[in-house]
Amino acid sequence: MDLSVISDSEAAYEKFFSECDAMAAGKFILAERNIRSVLKTIAGSSVLLSVFAYAATGYNFAPEFDRRVAVENGRKSLAPPQNDRDFLAFAYCLLMEIDGRNIDFHKLLNEYYAADDMADSYRLFCAAAVLPMKAAVRAVRDAEQFEYVI
């Protein structure tokens, strides 16, 4: 389905929500492919691009990432932004950095989402980044806080 043709409909959002759910339900071995699918869905929709452009305006990921690192009992974690707009920018940039290989995904999981195995670390990542990103897109859409750039 070509999202650019139906970008003014609910179908673009539903495709994004579906990709986020598929990524969260997926296996670690397919994680990078699933990240790429989420990003392609965003890139293929002017509606979704508008949402993320709204969120990322004036956002500087590198210092924000550093600011989000928390250390407790010798373990690192990422404290995500609390408001939807900043969270969307953070999560989107994080996925872009992983996809562009500027952030090593395995290292990220080991450092910030440590668990008994990589599959559990991946589930923690999805619970902390992907599913909340889906919820934030829904909240921003429902609040109509941005203008479409179609």
Q: How far apart are CA 78 and CA 60, in angstroms?
A: 16
With respect to residue 5, please indicate whether it lies within any of the assigned structural domains: no
Q: How far apart are CA 19 and CA 15, in angstroms?
A: 6
Count structural domains, the chain.
Answer: 1
With respect to residue 57, please indicate whether it lies within any of the assigned structural domains: yes
Return averaged pLDDT per consecutive 10 residues of the chain, 150 residues in all.
47 94 96 96 91 90 95 91 93 96 96 95 97 93 62
**Contact of 55 with 132, CB cutoff 8 Å:** no
With respect to residue 148, please indicate whether it lies within any of the assigned structural domains: no
Output the pLDDT for position 7: 44
Provide the residue range defining the domain that includes 62: 10-143
Prediction pTM value: 0.88
With respect to residue 3, please indicate whether it lies within any of the assigned structural domains: no
With respect to residue 31, please indicate whether it lies within any of the assigned structural domains: yes
Output the pLDDT for position 145: 58
